[in-house]
Amino acid sequence: MKITIDFKSVSSYADFYNQLQEKVKFPSYFGENLDALFDCISGEVKMPLAIEFININGFQSIAFSRLIKTMKELDEEVEGFTFQHRLKKST
């Protein structure tokens, strides 16, 4: 499964988790934090799974740097999981 998270409509971690949960069915006990995200993707979600973040602006790349780092770690450690992110081009 491939999903895309569009950061044009993400201004907080709550926005991110809402979008993600609409697309990836996490267990009801999912805790909406980075540790829970890592645990669910590495053990609860059916693979293969590809997640792509699009339209991330410079401010968001800083504000969500821990999330991006977690996703990169998952990409390295979990077989069948891939992660990409694209910075929004300045106009």
Domains in the chain: boundaries: 2-87
β-pairing, 81-87 vs 49-56, is parallel
Average pLDDT estimate for 40-67: 95
Q: Which residues pair with 54 in a beta bridge?
A: 6
Residue 17 has pLDDT above 90, yes or no: yes
> Hey, what CATH class is 2-87 in?
alpha beta
Chain-centre distance of CA 47, in angstroms?
Answer: 15
Q: What pLDDT, on the 0 to 100 scale, is given for residue 25?
A: 85
Residue 3 has pLDDT above 80, yes or no: yes
Q: pTM here?
A: 0.91
Pure H helices in the chain = 13-23, 34-43, 58-63, 65-77
